[in-house]
Amino acid sequence: MKRLFEFIGFEPGRFHARWISGSEAQKVVETARKVTEEVRALGPNKKMRDDRC
Amino acid sequence: MALENPLLPHIATITKVIDETPDVKTFQMVFDDPGVFDVFKQKPGQVAQISIFGVGEATISITSSPTRKGMLEFSIKKVGRLTSVIHQMEPGMKVGIRGPYGNHFPYEMMKGKDLLFIGGGIGLAPLRSLIDFVLAPENRQDYGKVEILYGARSSADLCFKYDLFDNWPRQPDTKVYVTIDRPEEGWDGHVGFVPAYLEELNPNPQNKVTITCGPPIMIKFVLQALEKMGYSEDQVVTTLELKMKCGIGKCGRCNIGSKFVCVDGPVFTLRELKKLPPEF
Amino acid sequence: MLKEKIKSTVTELLENKRIDFVIGYGAGSDAGTVRPAFVKSVEEVEQLIWSPFAVNNLAKFVMDHLYENIKIGVIVKGCDSRSVIRLVQDKVFPRENFYVIGVPCKGILDKNKVAKDFDLSGDLVDFTEQGDEVILKTSKGEFKLRKEDYLLDKCYRCETPTPVVYDVLLGEEVAPFRTDDYEDVKAIENLSVEEKSRYWDKQFEKCIRCYACRNVCSACNCRDCVFDMAEPNWVGKAANLSENTAFHLIRAWHVAGRCVDCGECSRVCPMGIPVNTLNRKMIKDMKELFAVETPGKNPEQGPVLGTFRTDDPEEFM
Amino acid sequence: MRKGYILKESFKTWLGAIKEKFPLIAPVQDDGLTLFKEVEKVDDIVLDYGITRMPPKDLFFPQTEKMFRIKNKNNVAIELESPEKVTDELVLFGVHSCDLKSILALDPVFTTRFPDRYYQERRDKTYVIGLSCTKALPTCFCTAYGINPTDADGADVHLTELGDKYLVEVVTERGEKLAAAIPGIIFEDTTNLEAEKAKLTEKVKGEIKFIDLTGVKEVLDENFELPLWEKWAQKCLGCGICTYVCPTCHCFDINDFNRGDGVGERFRCWDSCMFSDFTRMAGGHNPRPTKKERVRNRFMHKLKYHLDRYNIVGCVGCGRCVQRCPENIDIRAIISDIKGGV
* D49-85 per-position pLDDT tens digit: 999 999 999 999 999 999 999 999 999 999 999 988 9
Q: What is the 3-state secondary structure (H, E, C) of D259-302?
A: CCCCEEEEEEEECCCCCCCCCCCCCCCCCCCCHHHHHHHHHHHH
Give C285's contacts in chain A (Cβ within 8 Å). 3
Residues D152 and D221 in one domain: no
8 Å CB contact of D234 and C61: yes
**pLDDT tens by residue, C36-74:** 999 999 999 999 999 999 999 999 999 999 989 999 999
Q: Do chains B and A touch (3 or more CB pairs under 8 A)?
A: no
Question: Are residues C197 and A10, on separate chains, in Cβ contact within 8 Å?
Answer: yes
Is it the case that residue C250 has pLDDT exceeding 80? Answer: yes
Look at chain D and report how many structural domains it folds into: 2
- Choose the final residue of a domain: D164, D181, D207: D207
**A51 in contact with chain D, both atoms CB, cutoff 8 A:** no
**Closest listed residue to residue B121, CA positions, set B14, B199, B23:** B23
Instruction: Give which of B81, B83, B84, B251 to mutate to test C binding, by max C Cβ within 10 Å.
Output: B81
The domain of D134 spans 2-207
> Tens digit of pLDDT for each residue in A20-50?
888 889 999 999 999 999 899 988 888 888 8
Helix-helix angle D227-235:D331-339, to 10 degrees:
160
Contact yes or no for B52/D75 (Cβ under 8 A): yes
Say whether pLDDT at C293 is over 90: no
The answer to whether the beta carbons of residues C56 and C34 sit under 8 Å apart is yes
Within a domain: residue A7?
Answer: yes
Judge if B74 and B120 occupy the same domain: no
Q: Look at residue A36 and tell me if it is in a domain.
A: yes
Q: Which helix (H) or strand (E) holds B21?
A: strand B10-21
Q: B278 to chain D: which residues are within 8 Å by CB?
A: 224
Q: What span, in angstroms and rounded, lies between the C-alpha atoms of B148 and B163?
A: 11
CB contact under 8 A, D297 and B279: yes
If asked whether residues D194 and D230 sit together in one domain, one would say no
SS3 track for D178-206: HHHHCCCCECCCCHHHHHHHHHHHHHHHH
Does C282 touch chain A if contact means CB atoms closer than 8 Å?
A: yes
Q: Is the peptide bond before B172 cis (omega within 30 degrees of 0)?
A: no
Residue C193, pLDDT > 80, answer: yes
- What number is the average pLDDT over the span C99-109? 95
Tell whether B47 is covered by a domain. Answer: yes
B271 within some domain: no
Q: Report yes or no: B80 at the C interface, CB cutoff 8 Å.
A: yes
Are residue B125 and residue B199 in the same domain, yes or no?
Answer: yes
- ∠ CA C308-C310-C315, rounded to 5°: 85
Shared domain check, D197 and D102:
yes
pLDDT of D135-181, one tens digit each?
999 999 999 999 999 999 999 999 999 999 999 999 999 999 999 99
Strand D126-131 versus strand C72-76 pairing type: unpaired
Task: Compute CA D175 distance to the chain's CA centroid, rounded to the nearest angstrom.
Answer: 19
Domain boundaries, position B32: 2-101
Is A51 within a domain?
Answer: no
Residues of chain B with pLDDT under 50: 1-3
Give the pLDDT of residue A11: 87
d(CA A7, CA B47): 50
- Picking from D303, D307, D299, D300, the residue whose alpha carbon sits closest to that of residue D329 is D299
Same domain? For D220 and D202 the reply is no
Whether residues B30 and B132 share a domain: the answer is no
**Among the partner residues A7, A18, A48, nearest to C245 by beta-carbon distance:** A48
Task: Output the CA angle D72-D76-D81, nearest 5 degrees.
Answer: 35
**Residue C307's pLDDT is what?**
76
Report which of D304, D293, D244 is spatially closest to residue D272, judged by C-alpha positions.
D244
| Mean pLDDT of the D290-304 span | 96
Amino acid at position C276, single letter:
N
**A34 contact C CB<8A:** no
d(CA C130, CA C132): 6
In the predicted structure, residue C152 carries a pLDDT above the cut 60? yes
- For residues D92 and D203, membership in a common domain is answered with yes
In this model, does residue C316 exceed pLDDT 70?
Answer: no
Q: Of the candidates A2, A9, A38, which has an alpha carbon nearest to the alpha carbon of residue C193?
A: A9
Q: Which among B46, B75, B101 is the end of a domain? A: B101
Specify the 3-state DSSP secondary structure of C40.
coil
The reply to whether B262 sits in an annotated binding site is yes
Phi, psi of B78 (to 5 degrees): -80, 105
Q: Is residue B280 part of a domain?
A: no
Which tens digits make up the pLDDT trace of C211-234? 999 999 999 998 888 888 777 778
Please answer yes or no on whether D234 and C60 come within 8 Å at the CB atom. Answer: no
A19 has a pLDDT exceeding 70: yes
Average pLDDT over residues C296-300: 83
- Mean pLDDT score, D257-278: 92
CA–CA gap between residue C24 and residue C35 (Å, rounded): 9
Q: What is the CATH number of the domain that holds B200?
A: 3.40.50.80
Question: What pLDDT does residue A5 have?
Answer: 86
Q: What are phi and psi of A35, to 5 degrees?
A: -60, -45
Residue D52 CA to residue D57 CA, distance in Å, equals 12
B1, B83, B252: residue with CB nearest D251: B252
Residues of B in contact with D120 (CB under 8 A): none
According to the model, what pLDDT value does residue C317 have?
A: 66
Q: Which member of B53, B242, B256 has the closest CB to residue D256? A: B53
Q: Same domain, yes or no, for D31 and D155?
A: yes
* Domain residue ranges in chain C: 2-111+149-169, 183-306
Nearest to D235 among C36, C212, C240 (CB): C36
Does the annotation place B159 within a ligand binding site?
no
Residue of A nearest to C283 (CA): A4
Q: Do C316 and A19 touch (CB under 8 A)?
A: yes
User: Are the C-beta atoms of residues D133 and D204 closer than 8 Å to each other?
Assistant: yes
For D107-134, what is the mean pLDDT?
Answer: 95
C-alpha–C-alpha distance, residues D4 and D165, integer Å? 10
- Kindly state whether C202 is in contact with chain A, defined as any CB-CB distance less than 8 angstroms: no
Residue in chain B lying closest to D270 (CA): B251
Structural domain containing residue A33: 2-42
pLDDT at B216: 87
Give mean pLDDT, residues C175-197: 91
Residue B246, annotated ligand binder? yes
Q: How many domains does chain B have?
A: 2
D144 — phi, psi (to 5°)? -60, -30
How many domains does chain A contain in total? Answer: 1
Given a contact cutoff of 8 angstroms between Cβ atoms, the answer to whether D82 and D68 are in contact is yes
CB-CB neighbors (< 8 A) of B122 in chain D: none
What is the pLDDT at residue D72? 93
D277 touching C (Cβ < 8 Å): yes
Instruction: Give me the amino acid identity at C225.
Output: C
Which chains sit next to C, with 3 or more Cβ pairs under 8 A?
A, B, D
- Do D304 and B6 count as a contact with CB atoms less than 8 A apart? no
Q: What is the pLDDT of residue C297?
A: 86
Q: Is the ipTM of this complex over 0.85?
A: yes
> Within this chain, do residues B84 and B152 fall inside the same structural domain, yes or no?
no
pLDDT per residue over D12-57, tens digit each? 999 999 999 999 999 999 999 999 999 999 999 999 999 999 999 9
The answer to whether D326 contacts C264, with C-beta atoms less than 8 Å apart, is yes
* Cβ atoms C123, C30 nearer than 8 A: yes
Identify whether B248 is part of a domain. no
Question: Which element (helix H / strand E) includes D232?
Answer: helix D227-235
Query: Where are the alpha helices (H) located in C175-256, listed in sequence order?
Result: 183-189, 193-206, 212-215, 241-254
C231: chain B residues, CB-CB within 8 Å? 80-81
